[in-house]
Amino acid sequence: MIKNLKLRSILGDFLIEDHTIEYNQFMAQFYNFCIKQDMEAGKIVPSRAFCSDESQGLPIILMSKHFGAFPFDHGLVGGIMAHGRHAPHASHGKDMVIIQASHVGFDPKTERFGIYRRLQTEDQKFSSNCGKIHATLEWYLEEYEFAQQNTLLQMVDGQIQITIDKQLFDQDYNEGLFLNLEALIEQDQETGEHVKPIKILSTSRVYPASNALIEFFKEEKFNISSAQAKPIGKNLQPTLFHFERNESDFNFMLNNLHEYMPWVVTSGNPMLSAAEINVQLEFDKAYRSIVREESYHGKNLIYISGLNIDYSPEENENFPPSQFVPWAAYIQKADGSHTILEQDELYEALMRCPETNTDQINLDDMITD
């Protein structure tokens, strides 16, 4: 099957529509949710696992306001959880709260994800947000664009032919995007290998297209009616290629995203898709490390994971709106009982909580000159 698999078929069904909460509302409801879970006002130590980006300032301020304490720092660049900080966090209070979130910028004027206006730059320019995710994606997006433009299709004497740049299937290259040839090139029925090329050119080879590829293009109504070669473009679907990367290039973020990059680069919003994947994988990893952390045993603890959507600011708007999209929560009671709330039930549980927090503090009164 060549058709594009949606990300939800390989990970969770991460929903944004009808699951987005304004941050001030979310923080009040989440605080009240914690109180309903037998946590004690004034004894809760919040912690955040956010990226270090300045766009995360408003969520941190609101967390301080609603929980009455500046949050412990559990985060690495990109919203990766620092598991080694569990024990120090556990020693700082009676009841423990952790919020982990990847983040993505959003420009409401253009409705583009992944960008953010930097007011402190000289020309208040737009740049990537989250920068760590963007830097991780950049190499993959460039490789994908090269493959899109250098995999060509044409009709010759009633036969669909595919021209492939040698770099896209030559294993002499130890990293890059490599095409899944069995899905693209006609196979010899006896040997099971792809047939010999029709032509060998200086930097590419020409083959008859596979039956599966021909059927796919019929379904997609991709017009290949002339002898003039045409780039495959967006029809280069994630099941048609894979990436190879030198292990020395890997880091926490790349470890999370590499396997899913064919689906990320072919999505409509790669930065958003990458952030969603990172949230899901980080929750799974952090949940398992929290359960094993002895310092958290015997404590009330709530770990919630989600996506921060950072609205790009207008001129002189220092703290523009931010929104939170909850993904999942792990709830642990001091008696050892615990449960996990999935996205729908977590969102509904938050919506049942009051939007007003009577315990919130006035930061102006707390901070004096």
| pLDDT digit string (tens) for the chain, length 369 residues | 233 344 445 566 889 999 999 999 999 999 999 999 999 999 999 999 999 988 899 999 999 999 999 999 999 999 999 999 999 999 999 999 999 999 999 998 899 999 888 878 888 888 889 999 999 999 999 999 999 999 998 888 888 889 999 888 766 677 899 998 888 998 877 776 778 889 999 999 999 988 888 887 766 556 676 667 889 998 899 999 999 998 777 899 999 999 999 999 999 899 999 999 999 999 999 999 999 999 999 999 999 999 999 998 887 777 888 999 999 999 999 999 999 999 999 999 999 999 999 999 888 777 765
Pair (314, 208) in one structural domain: no
In a domain, 1, yes or no: no
User: With contact defined as beta carbons under 8 Å apart, do 117 and 313 qualify?
Assistant: yes
Give the domain-ending residue among 205, 238, 265. Answer: 265
Max Cα distance, the chain (Å) = 83
Q: What is the pLDDT of residue 225?
A: 63
Burial of 83 (0-12, 13-18, 19+ CB in 10 A): middle
pLDDT at 214: 81
- Give the Cα separation of 18 and 30 in Å (integer): 17
For residue 128, the one-letter residue type is S
Do 195 and 246 reside in the same domain of the chain? yes
Token pair of 147 as six digits: 């493959």
- The answer on 92 and 111 residing in a single domain is yes
* pLDDT at residue number 320: 86
Q: Is the pTM of this model over 0.85?
A: yes
Residue 2 domain-assigned (yes or no): no
User: Helix 23-36 crosses helix 343-351 at what angle (to 10 degrees)?
Assistant: 90
Same structural domain, 245 and 284: no
CA dist., res. 28 & res. 100, Å (int): 17
pLDDT of residue 92: 93
**pLDDT recorded at residue 84:** 95
List the beta strands (DSSP E) in 70-166.
72-73, 75-76, 80-81, 95-107, 112-113, 115-117, 126-128, 151-156, 159-165
- 16-27 burial string, b = 16+ CB within 10 Å, else e? eeebbbebbbbb
Q: Do residues 144 and 125 share a domain?
A: no
Query: Of 97, 113, 122, which Cα lies nearest the Cα of 39?
Result: 97
Closest residue by Cα to residue 57 from 136, 146, 129:
129
Give the pLDDT of residue 192.
67
Indicate if 220 and 170 belong to the same structural domain. yes
> Quick check: 103 and 51 in contact, CB under 8 A?
yes
Beta bridge partners of 175: none
Tell whether 152 and 246 lie within a shared domain.
Answer: yes
Cross-strand pairs, 323: 22, 309
Give the pLDDT score at 264: 95
Among residues 221, 240, 265, the one where a domain terminates is 265
Judgement on whether residues 101 and 163 belong to the same structural domain of the protein: no
- 218 and 186 within one domain: yes
The total of structural domains in the chain comes to 2
Measured CA distances, 165 to 209, 210, 233, 358 (Å): 15, 17, 14, 64
Do 63 and 181 belong to one domain? no
pLDDT of residue 220: 59
What is the phi-psi region of residue 195: left when phi exceeds 0, alpha when psi lies from -120 to 50, beta otherwise? beta
Residues 238 and 301 in one domain: no
The residue among 265, 286, 321 that closes a domain is 265
Q: Are residues 70 and 146 in the same domain?
A: no
In angstroms, the CA 79 to CA 52 distance is 8
**Token pair belonging to 103:** 């983040």
Residue 63 structural domain: 13-130+270-366
Q: Is residue 331 part of a domain?
A: yes
